[in-house]
Structure 1
Amino acid sequence: MKNNVIQESRDVGFWKSTMNEIETVGVLPVPLEQRTMTSGKLFVVWLMASASAMTPLLGSLLFHFGMTDMIVAIIMSWIIAFIPAGLFSEMGREVPLTGLIVARKTYGNIGAFLFSILFTFVNMGWFGLNTAVAGDVLNGIFHANGSMWFWIIGIVQVILVLFGMKWLEYFYRYTSILLLVCYGALTWYLYSHFHIHSPQASESMQWGAAITTIVAFSILAWTYKLSTVSRFCVPKNSGRKHVMYFLAPSVGIMTAVLVMAIIGMDSQQATGNWNVALLGPHIPVWGMLAAVGVALAIIHTNAMNLYPSTVDLLVALNTIWRPHRLMQPIATLILGLLSTILAIMGILNHVSGFLDAIGDVIVPFTFIMIVDWIFVQKRQTPANEFFTPVQTASHMFNWPAIFAFAIGLIIGIVGGMWNVSLFITILPLPVVAGLVAAGVYSLWIRKLQVSV
């Protein structure tokens, strides 16, 4: 009898300690004791988040431009985006809040609410895309049909995200070796068993179109999410102002993009398919294991889609209701379910249009926020001010920012019609739209400051 009581007590203790590990901080400021992430850990998180089973798709999307120009375009994309990425990442160290809470000062509470709803669906789309890739790979490996693997992948990802950034960081750190070994094994097989020659351009390089595809697929699609992770980093006022905190996210993201896009392009040339994981079923024993490892690595990326999607939804809910500790796990479960259904319904078939649409919205939104944070808020707004009740109409909508965003959005949508050759062959349209939007906002706020 005594042993049964002891065992029951242990079971209850284990269950309670496990439940206590589920992240419930939601949109509130991250407590100081949880802000322990170093620049090295930040680098690994974003390297692994970018090193998805879907990332080699870039090699297929840019195949017609050839290997050399693709590599140059990826490097140029990093040069264009590393400063915005670094500034957004530092924002999380300066004030331990997710970016869309900070957006309440930039766009007003209702403006931030609307963006939160929008980006919730954007991240659900990314989650669905990556889950679809993993499901297709596992169906191919096990010669299966239907949605069973889609559901398995979706459930595993949801469980991981429930435990939040602390356990996500552990997961990235300790499974990074597994991913490198699995991809390394399949890449070795690709280069040792197929005739590989560097793909040459089959048409003239279109720098604007190529860079637009890359930044929308990778670094600028991630940028507004960077503070959602860096809010768990060591605070900036702690004295650790090392440049690596600024560079770690962009270098991690683009290193994975560069390496895996090269593998994807070579795989497309040699096998007719960009997805190197599909080689696994043709390799006895170890090939299948490696392919499963690559497919499961989709969790690296998808966790960083579902996690921000949850936080974005919580920002919207917090505009209406007070935060509750159960909101975060409930939102994770609901969004994970809906995103898995998107994968099953075939969102992968609409990837090109999806990438174009998110670039039109995210880049102007991000650039305006950076201008506001640096030149209006001067990086000094206390965390508690983002939760003050709405008292005036200006707190609901910040019209200068919304007007500037609308200009950027219009340019992004119709700019290509005004000058097709300029924005396809030379300039990346979303970046131009973002810079124009940021410039309009800068001029407007400067005029307001002078008049005051």
Structure 2
Amino acid sequence: MSHSEAEHTPSGILGEVETVGILPVPDDQRTMSPGKMTVVWLMASASATTPLIGALLFHFGVTDMIFAIVLSWLIGLVPAGLFSEMGREVPLTGLIVARKTYGTSGAFLFSVLFTFVNMGWFGLNTAVAGETLQAITHMSGTLWFWIIGVVQVVLVLFGMKWLEYFYRYTSVVLLVCYGVLAYLLFSRFHVAMPGATAPMAWGTAITTVVTFSILAWTYKVSTVSRFATPASEPKGRTAFFLAPSVGIMVSVLVMGLMGMYSQQATGNWNLALLGAHAPVWGVIAAVGVALAIIHTNAMNLYPSTVDLLVALNTLRKPSRWEQPIATIILGVLGTVLAILGILNHVQGFLDVIGDVIIPFTFIMLVDWVWVQKKRTPAGEFFERPTTTRGWWSWSAVITFAIGVVISIWGGNWLPGLFTTVLPLPVVGGLISAILYALWAVPRANPQNA
């Protein structure tokens, strides 16, 4: 750092605000270990909304829900692991890397789309927190929306370094709170093992889980792993590969079980509502819900900010303070979504996420591994394209569109197959990835054609 740069670097609290934006993360900030990454994803996935999976799959029973979660983990294991390695190989967020896959214009459109998807998740989780805390404390839900929103924005302003600290040191508090709520459930209600009341539809069940959890998170994994130790340091490679998917799916399994047993015993999946009628339990429930929401929503608002910065960078050069400014704006908009009732549209929201994100993710991985061969230097992603191919990669765009069509309408062709056997969005994503590999990989490796 030069003397002039040092003079303009803020100190104190402002100096801790993250301003790296979409630029390559400096080596001195790349210190995250596999254990820390696991805790980040464990806590990010442990949302107050996550027990909803238990209600969505309630009619299939507890045993088949567990199998569906394990199968979903196996489906998402490799994509999540590859994105984890991507961030360690080139310390950039995934949508910057997508410029080489979809072209700069294509990545711009996805950046805008995913900015709003993540903001939607932010609003969804804030809505659950506000309504739950309203029931527990008998205070205005709108007031809780704004309290939760402001706390989350302030936390995200300080970036991944402080997010990791927050996750690590509040994880025990969260576990204790939900442990107490589980004790309350089992001690005060008649709890029985939920059995199946409908034939198991594996395609439907797995689709619900992967779009709610692992494949909805996967493209964000490199946004975290870019702060991990570089891939040039081989120590812990397997642990880094597994950390995101293990963290995400352990939370889904544990909280899904909580949601299913709560649904069976009380008629409501939201375990935290048990604290609504007892002052001491209510305080514990309120703390647990607040932490769960803040953990998850930080990892919705943070990628939403970065995705917006990718879009802005297509039009202009990055500026130092655009990251905190974008965080504040998106946090306010996400809170407004919660107030407007995004929770009433949760199933349709989840369907849209899977239909778009899974083909996008699978094509990008094929390109990174077999076309770019993990070797594109970080600086090349910021060069302004000089060819049409640099702005639009039609092979990726067209095969992505095919995957989305299959994901949305494939069930009309073979409805029984995609309901009872195969998860349709995953099938759409795999077909789009295979088509892209057949189209783009031979052109990238003409000597093998």
TM category (shorter chain) comes to over 0.9
Does the CA contact (< 8 Å) of 1:101 and 1:112 recur in 2?
yes
Aligned-residue offset at 1:227? 0.1
Point out the more displaced range, 199-208 or 288-297.
Answer: 288-297
Helix, strand or coil at the partner of 1:252: helix
More divergent stretch after superposition (112-121 vs 439-448): 439-448
User: 2:376 and 2:445 mapped to 1: Cα distance?
Assistant: 21
- The letter of the residue matching 2:362 is F
Distance, in Å, in 1 between the alignment partners of 2:265 and 2:93 is 43
Asked if structure 2 preserves the Cα contact closer than 8 Å seen for 1:311 and 1:328, the reply is yes
- TM superposition shift of 1:193: 1.1
2-structure distance, mates of 1:238, 1:414: 45
Cα offset for 1:142? 1.2
Distance in 1 (CA, whole Å) between partners of 2:251 and 2:185 is 18
Displacement, 1:448? 2.2
Residue 289, structure 1, aligned to residue 253, structure 2: no
CA distance in 2, matches of 1:80, 1:129: 25
C-alpha displacement of 1:449: 4.0
Contact 1:216 1:355 (8 Å CA) reproduced: yes
Question: 1:60–1:264: 8 Å Cα contact kept in structure 2?
Answer: yes
Residue 450 (structure 1) shift = 6.0
Letter in 1 for 2:421: I
The answer to whether the aligner puts 1:252 opposite 2:252 as a matched pair is no
1:274 equivalenced with 2:276 (yes/no)? no
Counterpart pick for 1:26 among 21, 36, 41: 21
Contact 1:69/1:205 (8 A) holds in 2: yes
**Equivalent position of 1:428 in the other structure:** 423
Residue in 2 aligned with 1:162?
A: 157
Write the distance in 2 (CA, Å) between the matches of 1:128 and 1:446: 39
Structure 1 position 233 matched with structure 2 position 228: yes
- Tell me if 1:43 matches 2:38: yes
Unaligned runs of 5+ in 2: 1-9
C-alpha change, 1:241 and 1:295, in structure 2 (3 Å) is closer
In 2, distance between residues paired with 1:242 and 1:97?
Answer: 18
Say whether 1:329 aligns with 2:310.
no
The 2-side partners of 1:146 and 1:104 are apart by: 41
What is the identity, as a one-letter code, of the residue corresponding to 1:370? L
Q: Deviations over 1:415-441 (max 9, x none)?
A: 011111110100000100010000000
The answer to whether the aligner puts 1:82 opposite 2:91 as a matched pair is no
Q: Paired residue for 2:436, among 437, 441, 450?
A: 441
1:292 Cα deviation from its structure 2 partner: 1.1
Contact 2:371 2:441 in 1 (8 A): no
- C-alpha RMSD over aligned residues: 1.0
Q: Distance in 1 between matches of 2:377 and 2:445?
A: 24
1:193 aligns with 2:188: yes
Q: What is the deviation of 1:268?
A: 0.4
Is the Cα–Cα contact under 8 Å of residues 370 and 441 in structure 2 kept in the other structure? Answer: no
Q: Aligned partner of 1:103: which letter?
A: A
Matched, 1:307 2:302: yes
Say whether residues 1:381 and 2:368 are aligned partners. no
Q: How many correspondences in the alignment?
A: 437
- CA deviation after TM superposition for structure 1 residue 252, in Å: 0.4
1:213 corresponds to: 208
Give the fraction of aligned pairs with identical amino acids, expressed as a percent: 66
Distance across 2 between alignment mates of 1:449 and 1:253: 34
TM-score w.r.t. the length of structure 2 is 0.96
User: Partner amino acid for 1:62?
Assistant: L
Contact persistence 1:364–1:437 (CA under 8 A): yes
**8 Å CA contact 1:92, 1:98 repeated in 2:** yes
Counterpart-to-counterpart distance in 1, 2:131 and 2:441:
52
TM-score (norm 1): 0.95
| Superimposed CA distance per residue, residues 7-36 of structure 1 (whole angstroms, 9 cap, x where no aligned partner) | xxxxxxxx9410010000000000000000
Segments of 5+ residues of structure 1 without an aligned counterpart are 1-14
User: What is the SS of the residue equivalent to 1:211?
Assistant: helix
Q: Does 1:406 align with 2:401?
A: yes
Equivalent AA in structure 2 for residue 28 of structure 1: L
Give the letter aligned to residue 267 of structure 1: S
Q: Which residue of 2 aligns with 1:5?
A: none
Give the match for residue 11 of structure 1. Answer: none
Distance in 2 between the 1:420 and 1:239 partners? 46
Per-residue CA distance 1:251-287 (angstroms, 9 max, x = gap): 00000000000010000010111001001122342x1
Separation (CA, whole Å) in 1 of partners of 2:111 and 2:413: 31
> Which of 378, 385, 394 is equivalent to 2:389?
394
Shift of 1:294: 1.6
One-letter amino acid of the counterpart of residue 347, structure 1: I
CA contact (8 A) 1:95 1:383 kept: yes
> 1:70 — aligned with what?
65
Question: Contact conserved, 1:234 with 1:240, CA < 8 A, in 2?
Answer: no
Task: Check whether the contact 2:34–2:236 (CA below 8 A) recurs between aligned residues.
Answer: no
Counterpart selection for 1:203 from 174, 198, 202: 198
Inter-partner Cα distance in structure 2 for 1:98 and 1:60: 34
Q: 1:120 to 1:178 in 2, by over 3 A?
A: same
Structure 2 match to 1:348:
343
Segment drifting more, 358-367 vs 389-398:
389-398
AA matched with 1:333: I
Deviation at 1:146, TM superposition (A): 4.3
Query: Contact 1:46 / 1:253 at 8 angstroms: preserved in 2?
Result: yes
User: Structure 2 counterpart of 1:319, which letter?
Assistant: T
1:32-79 per-residue CA deviation (whole Å, 9 max, x = no partner) reads 000000000000000000001110000001111111110110001001
The CA deviation at 1:451 is 5.3
